[in-house]
Structure 1
Amino acid sequence: MQPRDASFDEPLSPAPPTRSAPRFIARPASGPAELHALQALRHRAFFGSAGIDADPFDALSQHHVVVDHQQDGRIVGGFRTRVLQPVTTPQGAASYADSYTGGFYDLRPFAERGDTVLELGRVCVDPNVQNADVLRRAWGALAQLVRVADVDVIIGCSSFEGTEIARHTDVLCHLFAKHGRQGHGTPVLLDGQAGEIAGGKAVALASLTPTGQVLRPTDVPPLLRTYLLMGGWIGDHAVIDPHMKTTHVFTALRVADVPEARKRLADSWA
């Protein structure tokens, strides 16, 4: 028996009211030193070891950190964003293709609508900080960015641990049945990615058959749970990222589709 939808799709309840100054604050990263610290945190969060997680998209993105004022402003979370330029300009056409998400999917369905699209990526939380307020503050900051930039759609890739797609069969089937989209207007795998299906590096979600495994809310990554909480949807394939050692699904959230109560909730996290 699968859990009720509420247990799956509502990971972050409203934060309890407090009269004191907030412990966590989200803000733009200030300079190369903070970006370097954020990249180090990303490596710990994604790979479980010391190092630096950096890629060419860092130079094209805005970076944001969540700091802990109980630990002298230490960075305990972060994310990066990039507003893709209108496709009517040469720079805009290139920005859709030259993005992390655009390396896997053909994003022309968004570009051709004339949407203002924000790509969200590298969302991370310090694995030693077990506090939902870190992610809440990140989403609160994102809500403000969306408002300022007049964003129509937030896109990205939501990742599951590991590169064995079969490990996530049941949860992927559940999510695709309730939150999946396919067909016209949905980004499709690029030709090179579609060619990886035979090699097991990408799988059409409609082709999966559930095994009957009992699902838990924690089977869905926190980032994806929050997308769904706000009214987001997923694409029709699971794709392996061999560098990150993850399996991801395309994720999108049209801002106009977010219920007003959810918008107020996100604003309360800012």
Structure 2
Amino acid sequence: MYILGCFRLGVFPNGAAAVHGYSAQFFYLAPLSSFYGPVRELGRFAIDLQKGNSDIFRLAWGAVTQLVKQNNVSCLFGCSSFAGMQPHAHTAAFRYLCRNNHIALDGWRPLFYGGYRLVQALDDHQDDRVTDLPSLLRAYLALGGKVSDHAVIDPDLGTTLLFTGVHVAQVSQKRAKCLRAILAAH
């Protein structure tokens, strides 16, 4: 039996309307107004790998790809969650994101109004092995996704959050074709 949780799937007519989504309670999303077409917010997407397998994750991304195409979505976004409320515990991951050009550009990156700036992680010279990148974040990064330059705390769920987004026009056609093929095969 597969356990899949996608508790939020917000659809907004444009980036300016994203300020009414879940992520807006943690991040200042006004810069998303640069997206004039529909945007889609994905949230709390998780699979219990003890009871299922990662194919369901790929199948779900195939379904999202179809929704993106059908609705001419210009941006996918949401929050990627790290376990715990101590951002310093994730410095290796934050260093990796900073050093590998995964920070969103100024034109659509949420503005800082509190939290832990990821560049602070560059001062920490601990082990660089990244072992805690959330699955959803890895999926976004594989699509060319970007993250906020800061992390915030979600005290209700006891997690550290990064804004995570994908500018759909920048997803490679090869990657999109593969995701559509996964959905078609099922």
- Normalised to the residue count of structure 2, the TM-score between the two structures is 0.87
Correspondent of 2:110 among 160, 167, 187 = 187
Letter in 2 for 1:165: P
Residue 243 of structure 1 is matched in structure 2 by 156
Correspondent of 1:265 among 166, 171, 178 = 178
Q: Percent identity?
A: 34
Matched, 1:154 2:76: yes
Q: Secondary structure at the match of 2:108?
A: coil
**What's the offset of the Cα at 1:96?**
2.4
Correspondent of 2:11 among 83, 87, 109 = 83
Higher relative contact order (CA closer than 8 Å, sequence separation 6+): 2
What pairs up with 1:11-90 in 2 under 5 angstroms?
71=1, 76-79=3-6, 80-86=8-14
Letter in 2 for 1:215: R
Q: Secondary structure at the match of 2:68?
A: helix
Task: Report if aligned partners of 1:170, 1:215 keep a CA contact under 8 Å in 2.
Answer: yes
* 1:170-218 residue CA offsets vs partner (Å, 9 max, x unmatched): 11111122111353432214xxxx2xx4xxxx101122223231414x4
Residue 134 of structure 1 is matched in structure 2 by 56
Residue 66 of structure 2 is matched in structure 1 by 144
| CA distance 1:182–1:144, change in 2 (3 Å) | closer
Correspondent of 2:26 among 104, 110, 118 = 104
Task: Report if aligned partners of 1:136, 1:269 keep a CA contact under 8 Å in 2.
Answer: yes
Q: Structure 1 CA distance, aligned partners of 2:176 and 2:108?
A: 25
Q: Structure 2 CA distance, aligned partners of 1:78 and 1:266?
A: 19
Q: Structure 1 CA distance, aligned partners of 2:182 and 2:35?
A: 30
Q: Structure 1 CA distance, aligned partners of 2:152 and 2:38?
A: 25
Q: Structure 2 CA distance, aligned partners of 1:109 and 1:86?
A: 12
Letter in 2 for 1:132: S
Task: Report if aligned partners of 2:34, 2:108 keep a CA contact under 8 Å in 1.
Answer: no
Residue 211 of structure 1 is matched in structure 2 by 125
Q: Point out 4+ residue stretches in structure 1 off by more than 4 angstroms.
A: none
| CA distance 1:154–1:124, change in 2 (3 Å) | same
Q: Structure 1 CA distance, aligned partners of 2:164 and 2:72?
A: 19
* 1:46-78 residue CA offsets vs partner (Å, 9 max, x unmatched): xxxxxxxxxxxxxxxxxxxxxxxxx4xxx5213
Identify unmatched segments of 5+ residues in structure 2: none
Task: Report if aligned partners of 1:78, 1:138 keep a CA contact under 8 Å in 2.
Answer: no
Q: Secondary structure at the match of 1:247?
A: strand
Task: Report if aligned partners of 2:75, 2:166 keep a CA contact under 8 Å in 1.
Answer: yes
In the comparison of the two structures, how many residue pairs are matched?
180
Q: Secondary structure at the match of 1:83?
A: strand
Q: Structure 1 CA distance, aligned partners of 2:34 and 2:167?
A: 15
**What's the offset of the Cα at 1:241?**
0.5
Residue 138 of structure 2 is matched in structure 1 by 225
Q: Structure 2 CA distance, aligned partners of 1:161 and 1:130?
A: 21
Q: Structure 1 CA distance, aligned partners of 2:134 and 2:91?
A: 14
**Deviates further, 131-140 or 111-120:** 111-120
